[in-house]
Amino acid sequence: MSLRELPSVDRLLSHEQGQELVARYGHELTLQALRESLQAARQSVRQGAEPPGSQALLQQAAEAIEGLLAPTLRPVINATGVILHTNLGRAPLSRAAQEAMLAAARGYSTLEYDLARGRRGKRQVHAENLLRRLTGAEAAMVVNNNAAAVLLALTALARRKEVVISRSQLIEIGGGFRVPDVMRQSGAKLVEVGTTNRTHLRDYEAALGPRTALILRAHHSNFRIIGFTTEPGLEQMAALGKAHGVPLVDDLGSGTLLDTSAYGLGHEPMVQESLRAGADLVAFSGDKLLGGPQAGILVGRAELVRRLRKHPLARAVRPDKLCLAALSATLVHYLKGEAEREIPIWRMIAAPETRLRARADAWQRHLGRGRVIRSRSTVGGGSLPEETLPTWLLALESPHPNALLRRLRRATPAVIARIEKDQVVLDPRTVLDWQEEGLLAALHAALG
């Protein structure tokens, strides 16, 4: 019976290589992995295979442990040209934001401590002052993400009451965030007005009543309605709300502090514009066009923000110290007028075509392969649908473009590229300067 030829767990553990595994990964993990490889060996022996030796069993266990411990959240090089790629983590952080995060992570911090008074302080102060100064809002609050910001606003301000919203804005932004569902979750009653393509101010007016808690405007974000369409301007909606004592909440989705139209893109609604138009509360993301960490930001009237802060849900969606550190550092770039230089996504948006072409040319020369072609990059992240920026790509012919994409994904760091007209294409716009070496090494290896 060849099962008996298999070594015991104890034999494997006391083997020199087994001892190495214990030293590296600890007793428990090693023991478990050895048991599992023995279990698998027994199975295959019963099916008629030769029993593996100790070496093979130990090797198998080592590989299993490595596979188990390898991080699944790994850095990748984004060569897709989609700047805010949600699957790839949206916005890379600025150097200052990375450093602020590290400083907050390494030790203790003033997260909720007032140094001047030597006693408990408030977590919300860190970004609030910066946000107020940047947007001119009375008050500001940071939560985990913008979905949480909208949920908190609806729950705290409109539970068991009515929220009036245009039918054209009952959007799904992906990842399961649907405005009607969030509304239901908050306990607010949805009152739809207008039609899919046209909603008038009088539609809103007719829906306002004693049970109305809010008027909500949700930015379409990831789609466009064109043709015979209308929605009232934010000023008109705000004035209507004021006349009836109903606050207007504006979910901007991405929102932006810089004017995207200055970069050859369409105009993405700006946070400052919403506040100026009279929105009482504006919600937007930290990691879309703001270019910071995942966060949801609420700015607006102090009295409303106070109500949000007091709600129990606020505790459940509060931001952590790493987020606040990175967000504050990102906001400082805007205050100093250096956002376009320091915040990676704005550098990408502002990258001149000549520079993109020079980089693609350099890649092509380095590899001695491919052609440099014109194409378009996109903003992504549910902002500015259909809007693109002119770019230059390195295009690689391959008999099996999908196989080449797969080989690039297997590199360390993995390279994510895309296929355009049967060619594998790489867009320099979203490849950070310090990633070029890794990109070229991966390309060399993948092209053989």
Ligand X SMILES: *Cc1c(COP(=O)(O)O)cnc(C)c1O
The candidate with the shortest Cα–Cα distance to 326, out of 96, 84, 130, 133, is 96
Nearer to ligand X, 177 or 263 (CB): 177
Residue 87 is encoded by which pair of tokens?
């699957």
The candidate with the shortest Cα–Cα distance to 270, out of 261, 259, 262, is 259
Name the minimum Å distance from CB 198 to ligand X.
20
Alpha-carbon span 218 to 163, nearest angstrom: 12
Nearer to ligand X, 23 or 316 (CB): 316
The candidate with the shortest Cα–Cα distance to 266, out of 111, 374, 387, 407, is 387
Nearer to ligand X, 254 or 328 (CB): 254
Residue nearest to ligand X (CB): 253
Name the minimum Å distance from CB 368 to ligand X.
42
Greatest Cα pair distance in the chain: 90
Nearer to ligand X, 287 or 442 (CB): 287
Alpha-carbon span 214 to 161, nearest angstrom: 8
- Which distant-in-sequence residues (6+ apart) come within 8 Å of 169 by Cβ? 179, 216, 217, 218, 219, 220, 231
Question: Sheet of 371-380: strands edge to edge?
Answer: 82-84, 371-380, 388-396, 423-426, 418-420
Alpha-carbon span 395 to 372, nearest angstrom: 6
Number of Cβ atoms within 10 Å of the Cβ of 224? 12
Nearer to ligand X, 33 or 153 (CB): 153
Q: What angle do CA 353, 256, 303 make, to 5 degrees?
A: 170
Nearer to ligand X, 130 or 171 (CB): 171
Name the minimum Å distance from CB 282 to ligand X.
11
Name the minimum Å distance from CB 365 to ligand X.
39
Nearer to ligand X, 150 or 214 (CB): 150
Count the helix, strand and coil residues of the chain and give each as a percent rounded to the nearest 5.
50, 20, 35
Name the minimum Å distance from CB 363 to ligand X.
32
Name the minimum Å distance from CB 409 to ligand X.
25
Name the minimum Å distance from CB 217 to ligand X.
10
Residues in contact with ligand X by the rule CB under 6 A: 145-147, 150, 173, 177, 218-219, 221, 251, 253-254, 285, 296, 382
What three-state secondary structure class fits 411?
A: coil
Residue 363: strand pairing partners: none
Name the minimum Å distance from CB 80 to ligand X.
19
Nearer to ligand X, 45 or 147 (CB): 147
